[in-house]
Amino acid sequence: MVAPNHSDTRVKVAKTPLTEQLNQSQSSLLQRYQQKALGQTGLGTLLQYELFTLLFGNLPGALGYVSRKLSYPKLFKSVGKGVIFGRGLVLRHPGQITMGERVAIDDYGILDASGAGEVGVSLGNDVMISRNCVIQGKTGPLQIGDRTDIGCNVVISSITGISIGHSVLIAGNCYIGGGRYIADRIDVPLMDQGLFSKGPVSIGDDVWLGAGAIVLDGVTIGKGSIVGAGSVVTKDLPEYSIAVGVPAKVIKQRSNL
């Protein structure tokens, strides 16, 4: 066993394993499902959720588009005008999710606010989310600013909080946030030692993340920065910097010609 490090600044993450959540003997199967999907146990809310997702969730074409446009906003905390919902969306705790106007969410994504707390998950005006994205307040809040454009297969997973500014470009296959497993002991499986985070992620306005870039927990990326494709950001980046590599290093500062 490793001796304790008294200068340890890691933020421990309280998280109940999914198997325990789904097998709590003190609640019924229906109550466990409601808690996992909606975060509440009201029968009316459950019936509305089941009806809308069953009838309209995978309905193709214009009929599906119109049906979801009229029905889905009732599931969320608040939704602005002109929001587009794609097919096959997985919605978890939608009552903790707010959206601005003209948000577009493509097919087969996941919107999950199950661990986002009172702040929840917030999408600003004109946010574009492409196909197969995961937008998740896993154990912390998540805020995405106006006019941010998110490419296909992006995972944004908030452990202790993620804040993304406005007019941010996030190319396909990027990963933002997440946490880390504690590895202090070798006599206990890693999955049983718990999680920790190095802190929230903050991405400033007008940032561009190239395809496949990874932004780890505890990182701040300054306004106007560019992160090269496939780079792994492990430390803060100053404003208007261009960073590439694993780990990402600043190679240039942006400036007006």
* Chain position carrying tokens 């994504």: 109
- Tokens 């996030």 sit on residue: 170
List the strands of the sheet with 90-92, edge to edge: 90-92, 110-112, 134-137, 155-158, 175-177, 214-215, 232-233
Phi-psi sector, 190: left (phi>0), alpha (psi -120 to 50), beta? alpha
Q: What is the mean pLDDT of each run of 10 residues along the chain (257 residues)?
A: 49 64 69 84 88 96 96 97 97 96 98 91 98 95 98 96 98 94 91 90 98 97 98 97 97 86
* Contact between 151 and 211 (Cβ < 8 Å): yes
- Residues in Cβ contact with 171 at an 8 Å cutoff, skipping those fewer than 6 apart: 151, 208, 209, 210, 211, 212, 213, 229
How confident is the model at residue 227, as a pLDDT?
98
Question: In whole angstroms, what is the distance from residue 94 CA to residue 103 CA?
Answer: 15
Protein fold of 79-253: UDP N-Acetylglucosamine Acyltransferase; domain 1 (2.160.10)
Q: Measure the CA–CA gap between 202 and 208, rounded to whole angstroms.
A: 13
User: What sign for the dihedral angle of Cα 205, 210, 211, 215?
Assistant: negative
Q: Is the dihedral of CA 241, 245, 246, 251 positive or negative?
A: negative
What element of type H or E holds 54?
Answer: helix 43-56
Contact 241, 222 (CB under 8 A): yes
- Domain assignments of the chain as residue spans, ordered by start: 79-253
Q: Helix, strand or coil for residue 110?
A: strand
d(CA 84, CA 220): 31
The distance of Cα 1 from the centroid of its chain, to the nearest Å, equals 34
In the block, residue with structure tokens 């780079």: 231
Q: Which of 163, 102, 106 is nearest to 134 (CA)?
A: 106
